Amino acid sequence: GEGKVTAAEAQPAAAALKPGPRSSGGAGSGSSSRSSPLPPAAAAEVAAAAAPAPASSTSGSGLRLVLSPGPTPAAALLVPRRLAGLSKEEAEGVKELEICAVGMATAERLSQRLGRQGGAALLVDYGREGPPYGDSLMGIRAHRGVGILDAPGTADLSAWVDFGALRLAAAGSGAPVATAGPVSQAAFLRALGIGARLQALLGGRGVSEAAAAALVSGCERLVDEGPEGMGRTYQVMAI
């Protein structure tokens, strides 16, 4: 398509980066060769990245996930903060750790603003407070989960909210704030009186059977506590 470069087109460019033999003659010898501007190992990686995707690839995009060979500065800073909220046994049992630096920074700044100006914040999203996630990153297309590299640009990328990390960030913000929750969306809405509100809407004048069925269905969906139900997967936390 327009603006795209195929693997076949990229191979000559990658080949040009491969280290070639150095010229044995001087400046006026008349024999020369182009040497790579990259170290041999880096040039080899570029060439490998430009090669066609293996037949076993499921995404067909030719993209690959590359992991950092060592801790990044963000990981070195945030991992100890996240593990600080766990017991020694829990921390030692963590083999994978997913951290949202932006989420923790947002909770910290929000807490500081509330401490200065007063007020409260209500956070609602899907997630949990329990042990940190190892890998909740997912692609979503047409309300269904797909691989994160499956047809890039055609699916949303999302991840579960680590409410435990947000609570730790709020507590460590230095602001005079407190947190409550998280609790399930079902428990939160029932405490607010969603059942009474539904009955009031159903008892209104001129409510058709179709409208009543839609109201009941919508209410049940919001408080559904099944394994994948919104009432269970969505959590509510207050600062």
CATH of the domain at 228: 3.40.50.12710
pLDDT of residue 62: 62
pLDDT of residue 78: 83
Question: Has residue 189 got a pLDDT over 80?
Answer: yes
In the chain, what percentage of residues exceed pLDDT 90? Answer: 44
Classify burial at 65, counting beta carbons within 10 Å of its beta carbon; exposed 0-12, middle 13-18, buried 19 or more.
exposed
Q: Is residue 9 part of a domain?
A: no
Q: Is residue 173 part of a domain?
A: yes
Segment 150-156 mean pLDDT: 91
Question: Has residue 140 got a pLDDT over 80?
Answer: yes
Please give the residue range of the domain that contains residue 81.
73-238
| Tally of residues, the chain | 239
Segment 43-52 mean pLDDT: 47
Q: Which of the residue ranges 9-18, 117-126, 138-147 would you say has the lowest mean pLDDT?
A: 9-18
Q: Is residue 10 part of a domain?
A: no
| DSSP, res 169 | H
Q: Is residue 118 part of a domain?
A: yes
Q: Is residue 82 part of a domain?
A: yes
Q: Is residue 11 part of a domain?
A: no
Q: For the chain, what percentages of helix, strand and coil (3-state, to nearest 5) are there?
A: 40, 10, 45
Q: Is residue 54 part of a domain?
A: no
Q: Is residue 210 part of a domain?
A: yes
Number of domains in the chain: 1
